A and B are shown apart, each in its own frame.
Chain A
Amino acid sequence: MLSKVFTRFTRWSVMKELIIREVDSLIIRSIGIVSFISFFVGGVVAIQTALNLNNPFLPKNLIGFATRQSVILEFAPTFISVIMAGKVGSYITSSLGTMRVTEQIDALKVMGINTYNYLIFPKIIALLFYPFIITISMFLGIIGGYAASIYGGFCSSTDFIEGIQLDFIPYHVSYAFIKTAFFAFILATVPSFHGYFLKGGALEVGKASTTSFVWTSVLIIITNYIITQLLLTG
């Protein structure tokens, strides 16, 4: 499938519009839910950390430190990607699956159009903007942690800000974005495969969306493990 996606390109004037439409559907329309989840999960991480710091000898800036590490290393890239497998992945599978069962893909083929390039390539390009969403998630996750810590009275603003600067390793951000790039590719291709090669009718579209979510999540989790092993334990 992938080799066909990158051959016989659709003309640029048409492709440009398709990419813009996919960026809107897959990226822009995901910002709301990602922001909401990130802010509150960041807050919960901070609260959980604070409640587990019973020892008075442990500095309060650990709340900021733990929130930053959790959000940047795991929550934003991995947890949000699994959520996106549900939102974006289901959208891709169901839209391509519906096009399959209503013969719209056959209609494109009969016109002599490379359907792989026309339908899947714009989704891959749109998901190049996926790190943008993860950046928002990282930022809002930490802000959520900050808000929860301050308004919950778990630490002072100075402690939290000191914590998020403590032992900061820029490579961890690079690691997070390397993971994100792999997850973006999985998010674009696995659901596309399940939608494009769907057989059957409306019922199968629903089943394919579920299967696509499961496989995308599984692949994200496995890829996460492999990349972490390769990049952080060397």
Chain B
Amino acid sequence: MITIEKLYKSFDGMSVLTDISTQFEKGKTNLIIGQSGSGKTVLLKCILGLYDTDSGNIYFGERSLQKMDTSERSILRQEMGMVFQGSALFDSMTVEENIMFPMRMLTQKSPEEMLSRANEVIKRVNLINANKKLPSEISGGMQKRVAIARAIVMNPKYLFCDEPNSGLDPKTSTLIDNLIHEITKEYQITTVINTHDMNSVMEIGEKVLFLENGLKGWEGSNKEVFKTENETVGSFIYSSNLFKKVREVYQQEN
């Protein structure tokens, strides 16, 4: 579980996150939604420890991120997996090498053990015939799968995804969403996903945190988010014609 208490973050005196408090539960897919510039990525980077916070606390279980020294943070980071928006695969390495990379850097496993574990996760994310290919030789959807495989190869306790569906077609987006959801359940990981995608909210949003101009605008589950009376959340969710139509049908049926 990740607990955030009264988190504040600003850049050059400009407040980006104000008084954010929430909890992300273990074994659940927790979604952070909000408009561009609402502070989603900054919040995620604060949780990852890539940005120092101005005040407030972030707890990983009982451990406070703010009280950790460099070596403790290093240990914590080995419990984290991250899927970046652009996948962030290492260009000069093959798919297999990318996935084995965290093990090479952080474990004492033999090359055979690393290869065996890499093949296990490659199979888990349904990557076929891509082991020896470079990231530039595979599609965006496959790159996302490789990024997920690299993120879970060390059996992380925490999985973070920054807009995992960006640049993907709707069908592949759904496949990636379901893959992340299945992995979260299977390995009982605390998963936190930044997204704009309302399909993701519908499909896998067990906990949804809505950010508005750096403030917590709303939180609840995907079942609640579509019924909420909160106007800002409503206008964000129903901004597309597709979802407006869904709401009309829902209202007619009820």
Contacts and interface: CB of A to CB of B under 8 A. Distances in A.
Contact of A107 (B78, B84, B106): B84
Interface in B75-119: 75-78, 80, 82, 84-86, 88-91, 101-102, 104-106
Interface stretch (A8-16, A76-84, A180-188, A209-217): A8-16
Nearest to B92: A21
Nearest to A111: B102
A106 B104 contact: no
Contact of B50 (A8, A98, A110): A110
Contacts of B216: none
Contact of B84 (A14, A98, A103, A113): A103
Contacts of A112: 73-78, 106
Interface string A22-62: 00000000000000000000000000000000000000000
Contact of B78 (A103, A104, A111): A111
A163 to B, nearest CB: 48
A103 B86 contact: yes
Contact of B88 (A8, A10, A13, A103): A103
Contacts of A11: 105
A102 B89 CA distance: 8
Interface in A125-150: none
Nearest to B104: A14
A109 interface: yes
B230 interface: no
Contacts of A111: 77-78, 101-102, 105-106
B251 interface: no
Contacts, number: 50
A112 B102 CA distance: 9
Contacts of B76: 112
Interface string A210-228: 0000000000000000000
Contact of A106 (B88, B90, B106): B88
B193 interface: no
Nearest to B45: A106
A112 B160 CA distance: 15
Contacts of B50: 106, 109-110
B88 A113 contact: no
A76 to B, nearest CB: 32
A3 to B, nearest CB: 13
Contact of A102 (B45, B86, B105): B86
Given A8-B70, A106-B50, A113 B86 contact: no
Contacts of A113: 105
Taking each of A98, A107, A109, which has the highest tally of chain B beta carbons within 10 Å of its own beta carbon?
A: A107
Given A8-B70, A110-B82, A112-B78, A102 B88 contact: yes
A98 B84 CA distance: 15
B208 interface: no
Q: 4 tightest CB-CB pairs across the interface, nearest first?
A: A112-B77, A107-B88, A103-B88, A112-B74
11 contacts: A98-B91, A102-B86, A103-B86, A104-B91, A106-B82, A106-B88, A107-B84, A111-B102, A111-B106, A112-B73, A112-B106
Given A112-B77, A112-B106, 8 more contacts: A8-B74, A11-B105, A102-B88, A102-B91, A104-B88, A104-B89, A111-B102, A111-B105
